[in-house]
Amino acid sequence: MLEHAQVGTDQDILPCPVCAAPAFRPVWDRFRGGTDDVAVTCSGCGLVRRARRRNEAGDTNEFYTGRYRTEYFAQDKRDFARLVERAAPYQEIRLDRLGSLISNGVRILEIGCGPGYFLAAARARGTIVSGVELDTDQARFGAAYYGITIATEPIEEDRLVAGSSDIVCLFQVLEHCADPLRFLAHVRRLIAPGGRLVVEVPDLNNPLVSLYAVDAFKRFWFQRPHELYFGRQTLEDVLVRAGFAAVEVRSFQEMGLVNHMNWMMTGEPMRDRAAALATGLPLDPAAADPAMFPTIDTVFREADACYRRTLESHGYGDIVMGVFTPQREAPAAPSSPAAWTIR
């Protein structure tokens, strides 16, 4: 357990952006890239967040206009055409998870859409799509490559038409928000009556974090751009405070058995996302005995499927996906810390 003194006093650290409680408990202090950041659990609402210091620069939107991509991603993430090609199969999985929400003529807006690969896949299923992406290079690429309309202004400027989307998607976005309630208030405005908000975030109940506690993975997983670290319950709690009701919130295990074994044995990420998501043997079939390889590869695939199912059925996963519906009444202002019991 970390000492409170390592983080600073309640006076140095901003209060919880969700429940406004000033008190917290430090839980992790080794972040990707060796920053001096600390993750803390809010004593008021239980949300895990990066402890933001009072003297930190405030504008996070500026960071996402380009620096986030160049500082936090490997070289090939700047090769958008390759990124699009690699990400394409995964978008079908996302769409399948959304089930009957995806149907002809539904208007989908994705905020933080990158080069637009999810939107392109959604459009192929008959939906009407548009996006928002602060990184102008990615937005420009998506517009040219897919012909999708992608706005580059922050939604906080309220330039998009209120109530103009049936489904608003936030994939791997909300964890970046320093002020999630304010952000969600602007998101809420965009959803048509009867519409839905879909939120996908990294899951704090990732087995490598919470089941096996692999330190090397945690040093990779906790990263400065992620202000918030959600589990299913805290994601739902934040959305409820922002004026939404949960339709369904579930954990999914994306990375496979081989990826987990790799982390445990080498302490390193796999070479790319495709390898980490793979379900079969991490070997070149051409280099193996052709008579035996398919058989043993099948054993691996069955083991992988069983492994993921077992984790998910026990509430573990590396992402949380939630579907929410805006409530008719706008949310009340955040509670004062006095209204919350400090655990």
Distances (CA, A) of 335 to 17, 21, 42, 44, 338: 11, 9, 14, 10, 8
Shortest spacing between CB 134 and Zn ion, in angstroms = 26
Enumerate the β-bridge partners of residue 26.
40
Shortest spacing between CB 10 and Zn ion, in angstroms = 13
Q: Considering the complex, state which of residue 28 and residue 80 has its C-beta at the smaller distance from Zn ion.
A: 28
16 binds Zn ion (CB under 5 A): yes
Shortest spacing between CB 45 and Zn ion, in angstroms = 3
Q: Considering the complex, state which of residue 45 and residue 255 has its C-beta at the smaller distance from Zn ion.
A: 45
Interacting residues with Zn ion between 18 and 57 (CB under 5 A): 18-19, 21, 42, 44-45, 47
Tokens of 242: 């922002």
Q: Considering the complex, state which of residue 276 and residue 320 has its C-beta at the smaller distance from Zn ion.
A: 320
Q: Considering the complex, state which of residue 122 and residue 177 has its C-beta at the smaller distance from Zn ion.
A: 177
In sign, the C-alpha dihedral spanning 227, 229, 234, 240 is positive
17 binds Zn ion (CB under 5 A): no
Shortest spacing between CB 1 and Zn ion, in angstroms = 19
Q: Considering the complex, state which of residue 122 and residue 174 has its C-beta at the smaller distance from Zn ion.
A: 174
Q: What span, in angstroms and rounded, lies between the C-alpha atoms of 243 and 188?
A: 8
Shortest spacing between CB 188 and Zn ion, in angstroms = 20
Q: What span, in angstroms and rounded, lies between the C-alpha atoms of 169 and 166?
A: 10
142 binds Zn ion (CB under 5 A): no
Q: How many residues bind Zn ion (CB under 5 A)?
A: 8
Shortest spacing between CB 16 and Zn ion, in angstroms = 3
252 half-sphere exposure, CB direction, 13 A CA radius: 16
Q: Considering the complex, state which of residue 19 and residue 106 has its C-beta at the smaller distance from Zn ion.
A: 19
Shortest spacing between CB 49 and Zn ion, in angstroms = 8
Residue 146 CB partners (closer than 8 Å, separation 6+): 115, 116, 119, 120, 123
Judge residue 280's burial from the number of C-beta atoms within 10 Å of its C-beta, 0-12 exposed, 13-18 middle, 19 or more buried: middle
> Given the structure tokens 């006093």, which residue do they identify?
9
Tokens of 314: 């026990």
Return the amino acid letter for 314. H
Return the amino acid letter for 243. G
Q: Considering the complex, state which of residue 292 and residue 333 has its C-beta at the smaller distance from Zn ion.
A: 333
Which residues lie near Zn ion (CB under 5 A)?
16, 18-19, 21, 42, 44-45, 47
